[in-house]
Every structure is written in structure tokens, then in C-alpha cells.
Amino acid sequence: MNSAEKIVVIATGNAHKVEEFNRLAADAGLKDLRFISAKECVPEGMPKVVEDAGTFEGNARLKALALRKIVPADYFVMADDSGLCVDFLDGAPGVETAYYAGPDATHAENRAKLLEALKGVPAAKRGAYFYCLLLLISPESREIIFDGSCHGFISENERDSGFGFGYDPVFVPAGYDKTFAELSGDIKDSLSHRGKAFAELTAYFRKRS
Ligand code: IMP
């Protein structure tokens, strides 16, 4: 690590997430910021955490604190938590988004359950938003939270052109008539909950450097 470089260890076992954060940092021109996975930092990787806090913030804190204990003190740690909140379902699936159709559910099963739950619900009542929360713990042990949301509605059927993951094929962002899975990655990054939370994080690191 050179003296200006800041290392952020991400509380995830998902290499795809680490890649995405590094891409967003490079796009933002943050050359001295480097995201690494827990596995790249400590041989045991991300500890198992039961995400039972009941809120996005609480779950992110559980993951970040578990990681803080095992990584070098001069590194930042960061945990993210995200999900989809549907108005007609009183905010569900929310913190259960990844497991909506069961503990081992696939993305396809989760989407099918959601479309079934909204069967026959008129367009005006299909409002929903994606939410993303990033919880950072600095080397000085300060906790900082960044978040972002993206409002839109749930389509009646899946629409996919090969982009996206998770609930992308059933989520249409406000102002568009295409689902996230039909829009390009660049458009999604500019609108998405994760993109907005990341912009706040970027602003924080710009001020720090
Ligand atoms: P986690 O924050 O990685 O636990 O993600 C929670 C769940 O939310 C994921 O399994 C996805 O199904 C869903 N999700 C979060 N962000 C997105 C997105 O940008 N598109 C589609 N699904 C998402």
C-alpha cells in the first residue's frame, strides 16, 4: 500500500461486488481507493453472520463489526445491504429480499413469487423502490452511513435483454418504460440505489484526501 492509498475491505464473499465497487471508484476518478474482499485480506474470509437485525442498517452493522475485528486497524471496512420494498406489500420483501421465496431461493423463484403476489394489482398500485445502504467504519472507528434509493414500479411480466440480475427484469425505474434488465449498465448506474449511495461515499473520500 502506498502512503496515500486507502484500502476498504468489503464484508462480502461475493467477488462480483468487489469488482463493481472498484469499477465505480475508477469511474469516479478515485485512484487511491482500493476495495478488496475479506478473503483477499484474511485467509479465513468473511465470517458467517446471521443477518437478523431486522433493518438494512442493523444488518450492515452486524457484518461490518464482524469484519472490523479481524482486519488490520489501518484499513476501512464496509458492509452493504440492499433490497426491494414494494408499496402494495407494505414494504416487503425489504430485508428479506434475497430470501423472499425461501432460504435457498434463486433469483428466478424470488421474481416469480413477487409477480404472483402482485397478480391483478393495477399499475397505479405497483410502486416500489430499491434501497441500498453502505456502512463504513474508518480506521479511527468512526461509523459513517451512505444510502440511496431508486423509485419505480413492478412490471406485470419479466422483461430482460440480458442485462442485470436479481429483480432487474421486473423493476421499471420512474420515468422509463424499460426494466432495469433492458436498460444499459451505464443508465442503471446513473439511476440506481447503489449508484446514489456510492456517490455519497465518493464525496466522503474526496473530502478526506
Ligand atoms: P444483498 O444486499 O446483496 O443482500 O442483496 C439483497 C437482494 O436484493 C439481492 O439478492 C437482489 O435480489 C436484490 N437486489 C439488490 N440490488 C439489486 C439490483 O440492483 N437489481 C436487482 N436486484 C437487486
Please report, in tens digits, the pLDDT of each residue of the chain (209 residues total).
555 789 999 998 888 889 888 988 998 899 899 999 999 999 999 999 999 999 999 999 999 999 999 999 999 999 999 999 999 999 999 999 999 999 999 999 999 999 999 999 999 999 999 999 999 999 999 999 999 999 999 999 999 887 668 999 999 999 999 999 999 888 988 899 998 999 999 999 998 87
Q: Is residue 53 part of a domain?
A: yes
The finding on whether 165 has its CB within 6 A of some atom of ligand 1 is yes
Closest C-alpha residue for ligand 1 atom 5 = 82
Catalytic residue selected from 81, 147, 168, 189? 81
Contact call for residues 73 and 138 (beta carbons, < 8 A): no
Model confidence, pTM: 0.92
Domain that holds residue 171: 6-208
Closest ligand 1 atom, CA of 81? 2
Q: Is residue 1 part of a domain?
A: no
Cis (ω within 30 of 0) for the bond into 173?
no
CATH code for the domain in which residue 132 is found: 3.90.950.10
Number of domains in the chain: 1
User: Quick check: is 168 catalytic?
Assistant: no
Please give the sequence-ordered ranges of beta strands (E in DSSP) within 72-208, or none if there are none: 76-86, 127-137, 143-154, 171-173
Dihedral sign from CA coordinates of 92, 64, 5, 207: positive
Q: Is residue 40 part of a domain?
A: yes
